[in-house]
Amino acid sequence: NYRVVLAENRKMYNELQDLKGNIRVFCRIRPFLRGQTGRKTTIDYIGEDGEMAVMNPAKPGKDGRRVFRFNKVYGPDSTQAEVFADTQQLIRCILDGYNVCIFAYGQTGSGKTHTMMGPNGASEEEWGVNYRALSDLFKISQDRKATFIYESIVLDSFVYLDFNTLGIMSTSQPSGLAVPDATMQPVTSTADVIDLMNTGLNNRAVSATAMNERSSRSHRFYCLFSYPIYLNILDISKYTVSNRIIYSVVSINVRGKDVKTGATMVGNLHLVDLAGSERVDRSEVTGDRLKEAQHINKSLSALGDVIFALAQKSSHVPYRNSKLTQLLQSSLGGHAKTLMFVQLNPDANAYSETMSTLKFAERVSGIELGAAKSNKEGRDVKELMEQVASLKDTIAKKD
């Protein structure tokens, strides 16, 4: 059966990519929102094998149709649970000592925050990737207690108004970064973390005593929480006009010890809700909004440049061109696994932004970042890759 073979083939392709540590790209199309019934869509086709097609509303027909292929495409009916089911395995890699970076890219209103965090005040069912990831990591670290001791899970949560003015310092932390004046807060559950993150989002100060009361005696998990909006912006007057959150980054560092061998392991996960990728018309914005837009463009293209440099195995990877790429450096290299959610607004009116998002994603998805290597030990990637290649060969012959 051709369909089955095709699906098998795709599965193996994804597995192969897993082994190679390539950047993976999942495309997610949000539904039309309440009150948007009867709107024209630009999405022409969504396949189960990662294929999708977009139609130019000004040119309906063969000429205006463009096909894209990613590792996965989620249609408007996809649930948060479905999306997490496909990212869970990747996220769990950090417990084995891998560095992982997951980011959401797309224009404003395309569902980045919905995928990464979920709606405001989300119930557990509506939780996005970040809360589900934390909850899963807490659970697994408990399950593995007999064979593996997770000494700490450190969470950094950053909400940035502006990356240029944020003070980032190098440290010996697995993430390689620290934001000065951050405070360590012990947490014991996902609920604690959500409380802290909400506090951060609302820009309220955490009362240390209130936190200590709740944390009881457990000091196994720490949440490193910071308020760079207040603490690290050098000239706040330049950027607070709209008080918009441009990027948010959740960074989870795990350190543990194998009970049998005593070997230590560190792994690190970055969950990044990027700034909207839409191009801003210079004639329409001025002053601070223009500066902000230019800054966003610069850092998103710096992110693109880093990925392309890695792909070309260039001797110089321009991590230092933006604070964003500095922050993500540890999880954007040859030894890391990277996943990009490409978020799309289905509306026909969004066609040109949708195309530019898809083109960025297409360039990124074709790129190998080199073999992912565990911080703990190298896997026998070569052998597994040969196995997959020979299976693929068998399928090709059957066709």
Looking at residues 100 to 119 of the shown chain, list those that interact with ligand ADP (rule: CB under 6 A). 106, 108-114, 119
Q: How many residues does the chain have?
A: 399
Q: Which does 75 bind (CB under 5 to 8 A by kind): ligand ADP, Mg ion, none?
A: none
Determine the residue type at 29: I
Q: Quote the least distance from Cβ 108 to Mg ion, whole Å.
A: 7
Residue type at 1 in one-letter notation: N
Closer to ligand ADP by CB, 116 or 211: give it. 116
Q: Least distance from C-beta 306 to ligand ADP, angstroms?
A: 22
The answer to whether the CB of 387 falls within 8 A of the CB of 110 is no
Partner whose binding site includes residue 167, from Mg ion, ligand ADP, none (CB under 5 to 8 Å by kind): none
* Conformational region of residue 7, where left means phi above 0, alpha means psi within -120 to 50, and beta covers everything else: alpha
* 176 labelled ligand-binding: no
Q: What are phi and psi for residue 140, nearest 5 degrees?
A: -65, -40
Residue placing its CB nearer to ligand ADP in the complex, 101 or 154? 101
64 is in an annotated binding site: no
Contact of 100 with 93, CB cutoff 8 Å: yes
Residues 273 to 312 in contact with ligand ADP, rule: CB under 6 A: 276
Helices 2-20 and 381-398 cross at an angle (nearest 10°) of 160
Nearest-approach distance from CB 116 to ligand ADP, in angstroms: 8
Nearest Cα to Cα of residue 272 among 249, 295, 300, 301: 249
Contacts with ligand ADP, 332-351, as mask; x by CB under 6 A: -----------x--------
Task: Determine whether the annotation assigns residue 109 to a binding site.
Answer: yes
**What number of chain residues touch ligand ADP (CB under 6 A)?**
14
Determine the interface stretch with ligand ADP among 13-21, 28-36, 62-70, 363-371 (rule: CB under 6 A).
Answer: 28-36
Q: Which is nearer to ligand ADP, 29 or 93 (CB)?
A: 29
In angstroms, rounded to a whole number, what is the distance separating the alpha carbons of residues 164 and 162?
6
By beta-carbon proximity to ligand ADP, the closer residue of 119 and 366 is 119
Q: Taking contact as CB under 6 A, which single stretch among the options 27-35, 295-303, 329-337, 360-368 is the one that binds ligand ADP?
A: 27-35
CB of 31 to ligand ADP, least distance (A): 5
| Binding partner at 31 among ligand ADP, Mg ion, none, C-beta below 5 to 8 Å by kind | ligand ADP
The rounded distance, in Å, linking the Cα atoms of 220 and 306 is: 35
CB neighbourhood size of 394 (10 A): 9
The two structure tokens encoding residue 361: 């994603």
Q: Taking Cα atoms as reference points, which of 18, 11, 15, 9 lies closest to residue 369?
A: 18
196, 207 contact by CB (below 8 A):
no
Select 108 or 264, whichever has its Cβ closest to ligand ADP.
108
Q: Which is nearer to ligand ADP, 177 or 194 (CB)?
A: 194
What is the spatial distance between Cα 9 and Cα 323, in angstroms, rounded to a whole number? 39
108 labeled part of a ligand binding site: yes
DSSP codes joined into one string, 366-382: T--------SS----HH
Residue 145 assigned to a binding site: no
Q: Which is nearer to Mg ion, 113 or 268 (CB)?
A: 113
Q: Tokens 């569902």, residue?
A: 111
248 is an annotated ligand-binding site residue = no
113 is in an annotated binding site: yes
Residue whose Cβ sits closest to Mg ion: 113
Closer to Mg ion by CB, 203 or 207: give it: 203
Q: How far is it, in rounded angstroms, from Cα 218 to Cα 134?
A: 17
Binding positions for Mg ion, rule: CB under 5 A: 112-113
Single-letter code of the amino acid located at 91: I
Q: Does 81 bind ligand ADP (CB under 6 A)?
A: no
Pairwise CA distance, residues 40 & 178, whole Å: 46
Return binding residues for ATP.
106-113
Binding residues vs ligand ADP (CB under 6 A): 30-31, 33, 106, 108-114, 119, 276, 343
